Structure 1
Amino acid sequence: MFFSIIIPLYNRPQEINELLYTLTKQTYLQFEVLVIEDGSADNAKSIVESYANKLDIKYFYKENEGQGFTRNYGFERAKGNYFVIFDSDCLIPADYLEIVKNYLYEHDLDAYGGPDAAHESFTPVQKAISYAMTSPFTTGGIRGNKKHVGQFHPRSFNMGVSRAVWEKVGGFILTRLGEDIEYSIRIHESGFKIGLIPEAKVYHKRRTSFSQFYKQLHFFGRARINIYKHFPKELKLVHFFPAVFTIGFIGTVLCNIFYQPLGIVGNFILLLFFLLIFFHSWAVNKSIKVAFLSIISSFIQLTAYGLGFIQDLFKRVVFKQQ
């Protein structure tokens, strides 16, 4: 098993340095690394080249097209029989490739995805954001959970596909707005076997501030409607939860102003919900500070996604704008 690790990069030289350092610690050594700079103004060429004597590594610079097409650029130049995709803001455990290799030999998957987690070095905000993206009270725990809803769709921060998939299905046809989900659906429809490797986790930094996190999740909400436009059957009831929460929160605020009895009911439900998040996060992260911040990050996760979802639902589905 020879892996080609493909990493699209855009104006994040420090992140790629931290990621590449973790790859030098891998216990399984049969792999190459392809870093594709997607038209960055602040490029990482010198950083990548500094790893030339530590990794089998190649650096490419191309015009900006977005992460999906940048991964395709890497696919075209990879020599491995299995392609592994990471986001540049990930840290990779030393036994990651060993775990994946052993699992693939046993289960013969054509494509896989793995979960993400918070590293001990992350800031409290990053840990809270990680909680919001993996909590059963926000995402339902479907991003890396065995008990997911419907088909499992690997996410591109931690995803692998065989060369056979690339040769038959091709690469990404969307460069952003849900490109990884669209790709995994086409892999499913082509008859390939996709599965979750639960132990193949990465430490995903995501965003370093709540404002950045809001922008990212608003984009994710819009991406879900983009997937619906390509595959209508892939829109499930669970995907409406952030929008329902957002509408309920706005309704509670309005009721507190115009009809307080109903507002009191809404306040009680919200309080109960946030208490569940607080105590669950406290149990998971062993930190009261992270637990408090998890309330904020979970609120942002739900409302940002919900507003993005509602925006494009009306724009692209109701009013049928392109």
Structure 2
Amino acid sequence: MKYSIIVPVYNRTNEVAELLQSAEQLNFNRDNFEILFLDDGSSDELGKFIHSYRSESNLAIRYIYQENTGPAEARNNGMANSSGDYFLFLDSDCLLPPQWLNKIDGALAEHHYDAFGGPDTFHESFSPVLKAVNYSMTSFIGTGGIRGNKNSFERFYPRSFNMGISKKIFENIGGMRLRYYGEDTDFSARIYEAGYKVGLIPEAFVYHKRRTSLPRFFKQITRIGMSRIVIGKLHKHMLKPVHLLPAFLILGLVALLLLTLLLPAVFAPLWYLVALGFVLICLLAFVQSFQMYKRIKVSLLSIMALNIQVFGYGYGLLKGIWKFHVLKENIENK
């Protein structure tokens, strides 16, 4: 067995059904990969669904149940019970293009990566909200292109929505050690620090649904902002001023508001500059999104998603600083 695809799941049976339907279309030898679903204490009868599932293309599917301990421990459990020489991590809300495994296999034959990852993108069938979230999460003004973009401003760190490692990495450095906050980024950093060869495979993309509503997206982004603070405590070189820009933006706006209340004649005119900058950024987001999707509704939603991302991430950064630096909460099992 060459590849073990490991998918942690918690009450996402509908997503698993869609993921399996996409996996049926993979044009890769069925003897060379298996799919492991790690049930992290679900209550929606995921096990019953998996055991009753009949693959149209003879997929090798395995199901492992564990008490609820989080996605990192589920992935570790999956690695400990896998048969493959390489472990491939996916989120349950991903869909696979037919060539996904072929692209990974070809890149490994050419570059001999020890660890690797690919980008995430949208599928044409996605709702307008999902497409807007995809724009925000993949655009340069949203994330700086850090999610699988060759033109990113920083080093590529594989993320667990589309990530792979060789078995020897797990045997030598162990598995993921954080429970919820930035477990995959910390894992990638430890892989780099151990001297392994890490690479981006741009062609090995997945279709990623992420969050199905804007409020859920805000919650996810807040957690990602907190994760950056946790990662910064463990790996100081991974927390740079550029990562803190959304937090600086929030603090700057609050400071300007307070100064305007105290000295309106002096500081009130500055709000015109703030408004101008806001309008220009929103206009840029609209144009870029429209170039991608050719739909006005998606472009308008993209403006909302971008603002949710910036302010949600900034809020998460500030919340993380408060929890882990001011209150000094222990980051173990976080």
TM over 0.5: yes
Aligned 8 A contact 2:25 2:98 in 1: yes
- What amino acid maps onto 2:281 in structure 1? F
Whether 2:250 is the aligned partner of 1:246: answer yes
RMSD of the TM alignment (CA)?
Answer: 1.6
8 Å CA contact 1:90–1:204 kept in 2: the answer is yes
Q: Which residue identity lines up with residue 43 of structure 2 in the other structure?
A: A
Corresponding position of 2:315: 307
The two structures have a TM-score, normalised by structure 1, of 0.96
1:223 match? 227
Read off the aligned partner of 1:312 and give its amino acid letter.
G
**Displacement of 1:265:** 1.0
One-letter code aligned to 1:37: D
Q: Give the Å deviation of 1:131.
A: 0.7
Partner of 2:53: 51
Taking the aligned partners of 2:35 and 2:53, their CA distance within structure 1 comes to 10
What amino acid is the match of 1:110? D
| Partner of residue 290, structure 1 | 298
Alignment partner, residue 28 of structure 2 = 28
1:173-209 CA-partner distances (Å, limit 9, x unpaired): 1121000000001111111011110011001000010
The question of 1:176 aligning with 2:151 is answered no
Question: Which range moves more in the overlay, 166-175 or 98-107?
Answer: 166-175
- CA offsets 1:232-290 (integer angstroms, 9 cap, x no match): 12112221122233334545666777443111111111111111111111111211111
**Aligned pairs, number:** 322
Q: Encode CA deviations 1:130-166: one digit per residue, 9 max, x unaligned.
A: 1110111110111111122333110100000011111
Of the candidates 72, 76, 92, which is equivalent to residue 88 of structure 1? 92
Letter in 2 for 1:7: V
> What amino acid is the match of 2:316?
G
Which of 132, 136, 155 is 2:140 aligned to?
Answer: 136
CA distance in 2, matches of 1:304, 1:255: 24
One-letter amino acid of the structure 2 residue matched with residue 92 of structure 1 = L
Match of 1:11 in 2: 11
CA contact 1:3–1:84 (8 Å) conserved in 2:
yes
**For the structure 1 residues 191 and 250, does the alpha-carbon distance in structure 2 shift closer, same or farther, using more than 3 Å as the test?**
same
> Structure 1, unaligned stretches of length 5 or more?
none
Write the distance in 2 (CA, Å) between the matches of 1:27 and 1:128: 30
Q: CA 1:162 to 1:33, structure 2 compared with 1: closer, same or farther past 3 Å?
A: same
**Cα contact 1:51–1:57 (8 A) shared by 2:** no
Q: Which residue matches 1:74?
A: 78
Runs of 5+ in structure 2 lacking a partner?
Answer: none
For residues 239 and 12 of structure 1, do their structure 2 counterparts lie closer, same or farther at Cα, with a shift above 3 Å needed? same
- More moved, 150-159 vs 109-118: 150-159
Q: How far has the Cα of 1:52 moved from its partner? A: 4.5
SS of the residue corresponding to residue 6 of structure 2 reads: strand
SS in 1 for 2:142: coil
Percent identity, please: 45
Q: Which residue of the partner structure matches residue 41 of structure 1?
A: 43
Match of 2:171 in 1: 167
Question: Partners in 2 of 1:4 and 1:161 — Cα distance?
Answer: 10
- Structure 2 length as normaliser, TM-score? 0.92
Match of 1:267 among 254, 275, 297: 275
CA distance in 2, matches of 1:51, 1:275: 47
Q: Aligned pair in 2 of structure 1 residues 291, 309: CA closer, same or farther (>3 Å)?
A: same
CA separation of 1:208 and 1:253: change in aligned 2, threshold 3 A: farther
